[in-house]
Amino acid sequence: MNENCLAYILPGPVELASLLSGLPEKYHIRECGISVDTICYLDTFDWRLNNKELLCFRIGKTSFVLTSFAGEFKLQEEGPTHEKPLPLHFSDGALGEKLMTVAGIRALLPRAEITRKSQCFQVMNRDQKIVFSGSLELNQLIPPDNEEGCQPVSLGGSLRLLGVRGYDKILEKVTEGLKLQGLEAGYSEERTLRLALTELGENSHHYSSQFSIILDPAESVILAAQKIFFQLLKGMERNVFGIIEDFDTEFLHDFRVALRRTRSLLGSIKKIVHPDDIVRFQQGLKDIGTFTGPVRDLDVYLLAKKDYQSMLPEGLQEGLTLFFQGLAKQRLKELQRLRKALQSRKFHSFMAQWQEYLENSILLSSLISGQKSCKEVASKSIRKRLRSILESGSQIGPQSPDTELHCLRIQAKKLRYLLEFYRSLFPETEMDILVKSLKKLQDNLGNFNDLSVQQKMLGEYQNALALKEQKNAIKVAAALGGLITHLYEEQIDVRNKFEQTFEQFTTVENSKLFTLLFK
């Protein structure tokens, strides 16, 4: 029935009859009732949908729409009842699949909520045939829960017209009339979201899990370090609420990444600030790493559930299911501990001290070398770290112990952090090539380490089962045995690929690039 859809921007309430006043006499308007819907715009914490120019909103409780900004595609399906659903909560339809591809493991959080009052109508000719239809909509922003007493804010509205095939002329006449009234076509759902976000004082670029900072090559390294530390501190703080509320597992992941980066940078400026300060804060940061570790470790296993399932035959699946049920229970317990720690006076006090130090003391406690230009220090640090990687890596052979690979992994990670911190000081294209190359090496070393840690954890779990003599312990132990065997074989495979991966990292081209950039 509807061949084309036009949407006009309305600045505020307006009478339908006056909008369509140019309609010839032989046509009449039939009003079809008024409906009021609550519309909740959803996106991940790091705006993954918005970054792909997609918009997701929920109408009422369970009707979900996913649409592109340009509107060339639109999916509408019934979805889960969760207020902040994960893509996996959706059924296997096209909408769920698309969400899974774009949002991945991140929860869809309410970003703005509006009420939409819609007055639907049809325009009919003398034969009582519908020649076009439409709706007049008014949007109001619902103030967030914590702002009681706030009045709903008008976000304007829209006039939507749906043409009927073969009745173009009358629609053209109406649109000409609207143009004369100064109305603009081009209303979009995205526009309403932007207006709502502006009212809420938010924008869709507030958070990205990617680290990015622009430094001035001539500024002192202590000033650069202060900026980087601040950004990392903000990154940690922004994720605390999401960890406590347990919206999704990425909040903790991002928090810990910012934490590790902070610790790594702190460790690399030993000659720049007073050593006592470093010791003082390293310990506090390490403690945070310790109490946030158990939940993250469990998340890693729980997120890999499907991979584990694919490693085992049907006969061992029951044991594996029981194992994962045990992990999920354990995670709940660990999450309670984590919440307590993140809400503790000790944590808040440490974070406040760290912030206070960054704001007021770090520049004062700078040693003479802290006044060197950040580019000079960055080049030297990267060179030094690279040399150490090349030396350690070239000594690793087929018979080398696993510990040497673990050490190399940590060095590579530290180099990666340095490259990320100081990325803006060097040419972008060349830096991209090096980071990409380093990432491949890190993937190999990371996989090797993960497989090692997983085998150890599964072995410990197996031993604990034997001691507890739990019901179903045999089934679980059998599944874990199967997993350990599979992981061991995979680890050998990854290990065999190390030398080739390391050679690819140390190519002549890369060496030239390193020398050229960090001389």
Partner 1 sequence: MKIIAIYSSKGGVGKTATAVNLSYDSAHSGKKTLLCDMDPQGAAGYYYRIRAKESFNRKQFLKGDLEPFIRGTDFENLDLLPAHFSFRNLDIALDDRGGSAKELKRIFAGLKDEYDVLILDCPPNITLLSENIIMAADLVVTPVIPTTLSILSFAQLIKLADKLEVNRKKLAAFFSMVDKRKKMHTDIIAKFGKKKLFLESEIAYLADVEKMGIYRQPVAVSASASSAATAYKQLWQEVWRRGVLS
Summarize as ranges the residues that interact with partner 1 (CB under 8 A).
Answer: 1-3, 127-130, 164-167
Rounded to 10 degrees, the C-alpha dihedral 299/304/305/310 comes to -170
Parallel/antiparallel/unpaired status of strands 2-10 and 74-78: unpaired
Minimum CB–partner distance for residue 162 and partner 1 (Å): 10
Nearer to partner 1, 78 or 460 (CB): 78
Distances, alpha carbon 203 to alpha carbons 45, 47, 193, 208, 238, in Å:
12, 10, 10, 12, 15
Nearer to partner 1, 174 or 222 (CB): 174
Rama region for 207: left / alpha / beta (φ>0; ψ in -120 to 50; rest): beta
Nearer to partner 1, 130 or 311 (CB): 130
For the chain, helix (H) and strand (E) counts, in that order, are 16, 9
Minimum CB–partner distance for residue 127 and partner 1 (Å): 4
Nearer to partner 1, 33 or 201 (CB): 33
Minimum CB–partner distance for residue 342 and partner 1 (Å): 51
- Which contiguous run of DSSP H or E holds residue 89? none
Which residues, at least 6 apart from 174, have a Cβ–Cβ distance to it below 8 Å?
A: 20, 22, 23, 123, 132, 161
Minimum CB–partner distance for residue 125 and partner 1 (Å): 8
Nearer to partner 1, 2 or 395 (CB): 2
Which residues, at least 6 apart from 282, have a Cβ–Cβ distance to it below 8 Å?
A: 263, 266, 267
Nearer to partner 1, 130 or 484 (CB): 130
- Tell me the C-alpha distance between 452 and 494, whole Å: 11
Minimum CB–partner distance for residue 178 and partner 1 (Å): 21
Which residues, at least 6 apart from 169, have a Cβ–Cβ distance to it below 8 Å?
A: none
Minimum CB–partner distance for residue 167 and partner 1 (Å): 7
| Three-state DSSP state, 44 | coil
Minimum CB–partner distance for residue 78 and partner 1 (Å): 17
Secondary structure, 3-state, 136-204: EEEEEECCCCCCCCCCCEEEEEEEEEEEECCCHHHHHHHHHHHHHCCCEECCCHHHHHHHHHHHHCCCC
Nearer to partner 1, 12 or 24 (CB): 24
Nearer to partner 1, 75 or 396 (CB): 75
Minimum CB–partner distance for residue 32 and partner 1 (Å): 12
